[in-house]
Amino acid sequence: MTNDPVHLVAVIGAGPAGLFAARALAATGARVILLNRDIKPGGLAEYGIFLNKYKMKGGLRRQFQKILTDPRVTYLGNVVVGERGALRVSDLRGAGFDALVFAIGAQGTKYLGIEGERLPGVYHAKDLVYHYNRLPPFSEQHYPIGKRVVIVGVGNVMVDIANYAIHFCDADEVIAVARRGPFEKAYDDREFEDVEDAFDRELYRKEIERVRPHLAAVGQDADQLLSALARRPEPDTRARTKLSFRFLASPRRVIAANGRAVALEVEETRLDRKGDRISAVGTGEITLIPCDTVVFAVGDRVDEDAGLPYKDGLYVTAPGSETDPAAAYQVWDPATGAPMEGVHVVGWARRASDGVVGRARLDAETGVKHVLAKVKAAPGRSPEEAERAVNALVDTIRARGVPTVTYPQVLELEAKERARAAADKVEEYKFGSNREMLEELTR
């Protein structure tokens, strides 16, 4: 280590965006402390990417390990920053960092505000995804999946939820419900291959015929969809579950009997074109889709309780990003009409539910460029001073009674999990609660 002055940056959130931000910062010589809500790093790369994509998750873990073993990066897991956390944003702002980079993802739920949305058997995708990927405390809660599962939304997350219901539960039918039509689907065909074995082509053809006049009304050709279907190779094996689509249906409420979901009530829609934009317009006609489980896979919002200015599902960033790209990463306080100096957002914390890991990485790296441009104007401090500041923050957190987890401890947990997986002859094993992980670390 040289004695050149260094800048000290706290990155909050150790998902892909936070980790790649930490890497980009450390590469310029900055000293980074990485604070993460979960005991383990990785965010949705660890707890979102589908449970059996072992190769992809393993590859990302290896990349993250390189970042987390860099001596310029100190990782602390089990540390929530926010109104109800171990540290508040104001604590961090008062701790003398040259910059704070919030990479805390989109942890808020996008409720549609319809009746029955919180009934038993009605879930929001993120919670269920966290559950089956074994993120505490979701791993400790029950999310029973019934026989007839409706998923609201037609993005890649819908495909993952369908995959779970089809291949890891006992569902007979899975129905993906969309407000708009088949041309507005948002999932990737490559991802859909994972559920192709359950996809009921006959039901799809019928659904396309049913909506054909609506498609024609906005200049869309149903035959294009049918010929694309005919070109798709048939899967080698067939799942027991049937996967179908229900287009042009806008959820109105979840109907319950004896306190449990029995149907999703939808309003039929028609398509409307304004330039390139296709929207759904309610027709007033009501239909019931019988089901026992409803999963809303409609994207998420950022966490309102993180202590950053919040509006309409996002943190508020500075105006003027059309002419100054840095503004889009700079947190802005509408109460004072001024930037929150030194406070930035990247990744899904900046644009909720936006894209894959590669996109979160690019966003973090772009954000860090803007952060560094500002930070470089500050004088920096000696490496010893930076160490003292990092240690002082660690002491503050521990003094608040929070059992923090370091990266060597994460590696210790992962080694124990691998040993369990080998003993149980399974691909992967994950401790199911924070208590269990913390106890393992004291053994």
Among the residues of 291-339, which ranges form H helices?
none
Does position 357 interact with ligand FAD (CB under 6 A)? The reply is yes
Is the Cβ–Cβ distance between 116 and 253 less than 8 Å? Answer: yes
| Binding-site member from 6, 34, 36, 207 for ligand FAD (CB under 6 A) | 36
> Do the Cβ atoms of 6 and 377 come closer than 8 Å?
no
Instruction: Answer for the pair 52, 10: CB distance below 8 angstroms, yes or no.
Output: no
Binding residue (CB under 6 A) for ligand FAD from 14, 73, 177, 211? 14
- Which range of residues in 14-22, 228-236, 253-261, 424-432 is near ligand FAD by CB under 6 A? 14-22
Count of residues that bind ligand FAD according to CB under 6 A:
37
| H or E stretch at 123 | strand 122-124
Task: Give the bridge partners for 109, in sequence order.
Answer: 300
> Is position 17 an interface residue for ligand FAD (rule: CB under 6 A)?
yes
**Cα–Cα distance between 402 and 397 in angstroms, integer?**
6
Does 348 engage in binding with ligand FAD (CB under 6 A)?
yes
Binding residue for ligand FAD, selected from 6, 9, 13, 251, defined by CB under 6 A: 13
Question: Residue-wise over 395-407: b if at least 16 C-beta within 10 A, else e?
Answer: eebeeeebbbbeb
With binding defined as CB under 6 A, does residue 299 bind ligand FAD?
no
- Site map (CB under 6 A) of ligand FAD, residues 305-324, x = contact: -x------------------
Phi, psi of 264 (to 5 degrees): -105, 125
Q: Which residues contact 40 (CB under 8 A, 6 or more apart)?
A: 46, 77, 410, 413, 414
What is the secondary structure of 97-109 as a DSSP string?
Answer: -SEEEE-----EE
Of 25, 32, 44, 280, which one interacts with ligand FAD (CB under 6 A)?
44
Stretch that binds ligand FAD, among 78-86, 333-341, 394-402, 425-433 (CB under 6 A): 78-86
Assess 108 for contact with ligand FAD (CB under 6 A): no
Only one of the segments 6-14, 210-218, 243-251, 388-396 lies at the binding site for ligand FAD (rule: CB under 6 A); that segment is 6-14
Residue 368 binds ligand FAD, judged by CB under 6 A: no
Eight-state DSSP code of residue 337? T
- Measured from the CB atom, is 6 or 10 closer to ligand FAD? 10
- Tell me the two tokens of residue 268: 């039929």
d(CA 101, CA 17): 10
Asked if 196 contacts 262 with a C-beta cutoff of 8 angstroms, the reply is no
Q: Which of 45, 177, 294, 316 binds ligand FAD (CB under 6 A)?
A: 45
> What would the two tokens of residue 254 be?
């979840």
Member of 9, 51, 92, 103 binding ligand FAD (CB under 6 A): 103
Whole-number minimum distance, CB 202 to ligand FAD, in Å?
A: 29
Closest C-alpha to 389, from 157, 92, 104? 92
Single out the residue of 49, 198, 243, 294 in contact with ligand FAD (rule: CB under 6 A): 49
Instruction: Extract the tokens encoding 80.
Output: 């929530």
The CA distance from 13 to 215, in Å, is 43
The minimum distance between CB 265 and ligand FAD, in angstroms, equals 26
Q: Which of 48, 181, 182, 380 binds ligand FAD (CB under 6 A)?
A: 48
Residue 159 within binding range of ligand FAD, rule CB under 6 A: no
263 is an interface residue for ligand FAD by CB under 6 A? no
Q: Is residue 173 close enough to count as binding ligand FAD by CB under 6 A? A: no
- Answer yes or no: are the C-beta atoms of 187 and 155 closer than 8 Å: yes
In the bound complex, which residue of the shown chain has the CB atom lying closest to ligand FAD? 15
Largest CA distance in the chain: 72
Is residue 158 close enough to count as binding ligand FAD by CB under 6 A? no
Name which of 8 and 45 has its Cβ closer to ligand FAD: 45
Identified binder of ligand FAD from the candidate list 160, 173, 196, 267, rule CB under 6 A: 160
Phi, psi at residue 217, to the nearest 5°?
-60, -25
The single residue among 288, 356, 392, 422 that binds ligand FAD, judged by CB under 6 A, is 356
For ligand FAD, the binding residues (CB under 6 A) are 12-18, 35-38, 43-45, 48-49, 53, 80-82, 85, 103-105, 107, 129, 157, 160, 303, 306, 347-349, 355-357, 360
